[in-house]
Chain A
Amino acid sequence: NAGVMQNPRHLVRRRGQEARLRCSPMKGHSHVYWYRQLPEEGLKFMVYLQKENIIDESGMPKERFSAEFPKEGPSILRIQQVVRGDSAAYFCASSPMDRTEAFFGQGTRLTVV
């Protein structure tokens, strides 16, 4: 059973470009969470999704950020028109139905130049 898979591991984008981060949850997990981590900081919650539904997006910036978890395929975190301040590590976690434990991917490190 593969763990949570995130790709790419590293992503470099120029200011104004779009960044697409992908997360494949563990097999059988229906809950996906996205977190952002700045250097030397903890993880800040962004969004919680179930298949085809956004459950809690209270941590998502109002503009430029969106997330989806389609019926088929990975969850996608999309950042439009990236700015330098978007540079961070973005982690995805998944959990089973009972949400007892969240398993994290290795993260995508986004650098905006």
Chain B
Amino acid sequence: SQQGEEDPQALSIQEGENATMNCSYKTSINNLQWYRQNSGRGLVHLILIRSNEREKHSGRLRVTLDTSKKSSSLLITASRAADTASYFCATDAPFQGGSEKLVFGKGTKLTVNP
């Protein structure tokens, strides 16, 4: 079953506006990561936030994590047409025996109109 669920499923904004995407998950985690996927391409790692962190920045990206609500948000400020892509959150789901795997949500499809 899906661990992470992003919302909204699709988001369309104008260039220069901010874009906020949310991710909710079900079980406790060690880390939460955000990835970007351009149409027909592989995934690009954006940012990792650990369970003991509340906020992290990387350039125009800001990620927050609320472990009490089991949710995270990704904010892209001053968006550009090149930010058009699908954005996925991924959590590491503990697996018996101590190994973890990344479990992905269905993604938010962001369109930034020039």
Which residues of chain A have a CB within 8 Å of any CB of chain B? 33, 35, 41-45, 48, 55-56, 58, 91, 93, 99-107
Contact = CB atoms under 8 A, between A and B. Distances in A.
A55 B35 CA distance: 24
B25 interface: no
A5 to B, nearest CB: 11
Chain B contact residues (Cβ within 8 angstroms of A): what range?
20 to 34
B99 A43 contact: no
Contacts of B102: 33, 45, 93, 102
Contacts of A103: 45
A101 B33 contact: yes
B100 A99 contact: yes
Nearest to B98: A55
Interface in B10-56: 31, 33, 35, 41-45, 48
A35 B102 CA distance: 10
Contacts of A58: 95
A66 B30 CA distance: 29
Contact of B42 (A44, A99, A101, A106): A106
Nearest to A59: B101
